Chains A and B, each alone.
Chain A
Amino acid sequence: MKKYMIRRMLFMIPVLIGVSIIIFTLIHLAPGDPYSSMLDPSVTEEDMQNMLEKIGYYDPLPVKYMKWVGRAVQGDLGYSIRYQEPVVDVISRRMGNTLLLSVLALVISTSIAIPLGVISSSKQYSIFDYIATIFAFIGLSIPAFFLALLMVKYLAFDLKLFPISGMQTIGAGYTGFKQFLDLLHHMALPVMVLALLQMASFMRYTRSSMLEVIRQDYVRTARAKGVKEKVVIYKHALKNALIPVITLLSASLGHLLSGAILTETVFAWPGMGTLVYQSILNRDYPLVIASTMLLSLCVLAGNLFADIMYAVVDPRIKYD
């Protein structure tokens, strides 16, 4: 198994290289440049061109790419043109905020979706199952940003239950526990949106996995042994049904991190999503490339993690 893992990790490298080349090329093909809006109008055309020449703005694309790779492997991901800070600093600030939302959404959605899926499967075709299925479909079909907009309008503006946007109440100067509560208050809506959408697909997945497992011979064997029905479902069946679900879960953190762009934008949540979006609009090349690479890495790492978890959880893989 260890060999398999190492091979998988090695395979990630050419994929990452491919991603970096494509992103690099694409972003540099975009019209416009990051500097024009930032420059002091008193700077002459000639001076600006000299400056740009010095930082390598006019280098051909492959040269730019190699220069970037050279610095990247040393840990230097460049300077954000917009923020005038090392890219690493900007990203690590924002990443934390996105992680906050993603992890909480994952925990909430899992703890509700899995039990619901199990109950739904054991009561197949009942009213409960029907309603749960419809809710799941709604969750799968509603666009995340539309749900976010609806929540902002009705829960934030109209009913004033939650703040409209952002991470903190500006100017309130909360500290300590009050600050923590304020944070939770601001997190509530975006987490709800993310969690609701996740819950839908997890529930469906758990349900269909359970339905598949309950049909298996070994469940019949368990009943033939005189095992109580509840134990048959929650011990014999569930442990098997959870294997693909855990695999899905492991992959989803990676996907969550990279997919929350629109939701974060609607809530003006200062996370990776808004960062990436803004930096693309600003043509802030170093930031765009670094953050895109990072998010792609998250997806890849998530998939790898899923494979590892699968091997850990399924004895048929572990003991081979």
Chain B
Amino acid sequence: MNVVKTKQIPENKKDMEEKGLSLWKVGLERLRRNKLAMFGLTILLITITIAVLAPVITPYDRDAIDTANSYKAPSAEHWLGTDELGRDTFTRLIYGGRISLSVGLVSTGISVAIGVLLGAVGGYHGGIADMIIMRLVDIFMCFPFFLIAIVIASILGPSIWNVMIISGTLSWTYIARIVRAEVLSIKEREFIEAAKALGLNSKDIIVKHIIPNIVAPIIVYATLGIARGILSEASLSYLGLGVKPPTPSWGNMLSAAQSMRSLRMHWWLWIPPGLMVFLTILSINFLGDGLRDALDPKLKQ
């Protein structure tokens, strides 16, 4: 008996198309359901908004010195007290947020740029270029990060740009590895398919195929990289090797704790910036972890 049907069944084809497009939609759905990630995202957005709106929120000038009122504890006029020069701590905290957040962003941008470039070049060209780049990766990966950062910072002197550059140039290795692996696997696949296909522009194919596959890990990595950048800024500035006063940053505000007296008695000078660093990094970690879960194609439901 003949069971072959001649009529097409439209519903099934539509189902298949919908399922193909929605990797991003599925990912976004999963992310939205992750409570911790949403909490992190919310805190981050609040922090960024406050930092951006700094002049609107606080009446004080960032660098306004008022030595008569130095080291005052928190009060109604100064929500987080004043520092050694009588400057309002709360004001400096939110302006400092601008600095610390931008260090995070820029340094990540640098490391992603370097990582993608070197990873792509190494994977695509192979041979000597690849070998050199891989050895570079090994060398950079075995550097104790903070140590080298201190060495470089002591050469270049304290400045916000130096912190960004240092942080960016020391953390490109992870992305480089991922990009290189992806390029290598695409290269293998494409050679086989390109042999069958009719002389299509291989560079075009590679670009069209590589980008979608590396976007997800780059997003996850970049998100977590911002946390790393903020931490580097805090650590370096704490030691006096980062952002130079009088520009406030969370890191150099923390350096108030270097003085025994301030550590013991002027908690409002160093605990708030420390807490902000902690909270920001925590939120980024929640978000980054959620992104990783959401965008991981290997996750079965």
Complex: A296 Cα to B257 Cα, angstroms: 30
Query: A11 — which chain B residues lie within 8 A by C-beta?
Result: 138
Complex: A152 Cα to B262 Cα, angstroms: 12
The secondary-structure label for the interface of chain B is helix
> Beyond A137-B282, A296-B143, is A30–B151 a contact (Cβ under 8 Å)?
yes
Judge if B192 is at the interface, Cβ distance under 8 Å: no
Judge if A259 is at the interface, Cβ distance under 8 Å: yes
Judge if A261 is at the interface, Cβ distance under 8 Å: yes
The contact string, 1 if C-beta is below 8 Å from chain A, for chain B 217-233, is 00000000001000100
Q: Most chain-A Cβ atoms within 10 A of its Cβ — which of B142, B271, B289?
A: B142
Judge if B281 is at the interface, Cβ distance under 8 Å: yes
Judge if A66 is at the interface, Cβ distance under 8 Å: no
Complex: A193 Cα to B281 Cα, angstroms: 18
One of A157, A261, A299 near B150 (C-beta < 8 A): A261
Query: A30 — which chain B residues lie within 8 A by C-beta?
Result: 151, 154-155
Q: Are A299 and B277 touching (Cβ within 8 A)? A: no
The contact string, 1 if C-beta is below 8 Å from chain A, for chain B 267-301, is 10011001001100110111001000000000000
Query: B90 — which chain A residues lie within 8 A by C-beta?
Result: none
> Beyond A146-B278, A258-B144, A259-B144, is A280–B150 a contact (Cβ under 8 Å)?
yes
Judge if B14 is at the interface, Cβ distance under 8 Å: no
The contact string, 1 if C-beta is below 8 Å from chain B, for chain A 124-154, is 0000000001100110111101100110110
Chain A nearest CB, measured from B228 CB (Å):
11
Q: Are A15 and B142 touching (Cβ within 8 A)? A: yes
Judge if A119 is at the interface, Cβ distance under 8 Å: no
Chain B nearest CB, measured from A254 CB (Å):
9
Query: A23 — which chain B residues lie within 8 A by C-beta?
Result: 148, 151
> Beyond A30-B154, A152-B263, is A19–B274 a contact (Cβ under 8 Å)?
no
Q: Are A19 and B263 touching (Cβ within 8 A)? A: no
Q: Are A31 and B142 touching (Cβ within 8 A)? A: no
Q: Are A19 and B146 touching (Cβ within 8 A)? A: no
B residues contacting A by CB (< 8 A) are 36, 135, 138-139, 142-148, 150-152, 154-155, 227, 231, 234-235, 238-239, 254, 257, 263-264, 267, 270-271, 274, 277-278, 281-282, 284-286, 289
> What are 28 A-B residue pairs whose CB atoms fall within 8 Å in the complex?
A11-B138, A14-B135, A23-B148, A26-B152, A27-B151, A30-B151, A134-B36, A137-B285, A141-B227, A143-B277, A143-B281, A145-B235, A149-B274, A258-B144, A261-B146, A261-B147, A265-B239, A276-B147, A277-B150, A277-B239, A288-B151, A292-B147, A292-B151, A295-B144, A296-B142, A296-B143, A299-B143, A303-B142
